[in-house]
Structure 1
């Protein structure tokens, strides 16, 4: 919610500032979000160890979800027969 407030205030300020100079159109919400990401938010990790760890977590989670679905299908199949 803090980011939304910052974007709203910045948009209001750029809208009033650009009308006095007449050279710029007011910044859009997407443009302000892009600027916020570039200037204030930390860059995401992209190193090899992080990517491999995330990939392993994702594949493990998918395996657990598939197993849960198989168990549930077996339970419902046994209950309907």
Structure 2
């Protein structure tokens, strides 16, 4: 299963607005995208509630994964958002 490790760039972590933007992007992918804190259990990245309960804070490393046709593109799309300071937009 392809995966990518990314550092959370938003100052508030994956909460509120950043979580909503990441969940929207993940839900729009052709494959299911999962996200986990390094060493933790993965959750569905397409759910704002799941992202908020993940408690991924600024500077935390997360692992984004997906399986199936288009997995690499889906991972890249979600990883790009996680690695961007979404508070500044």
Shared fold (TM-score greater than 0.5)?
no
Higher relative helix content: 1
Structure whose alpha-carbon radius of gyration is higher: 1
**TM-score with structure 1 setting the length:** 0.31
Q: Which has the higher strand share?
A: 2
Question: What TM-score does the superposition give when structure 2 sets the normalisation length?
Answer: 0.29
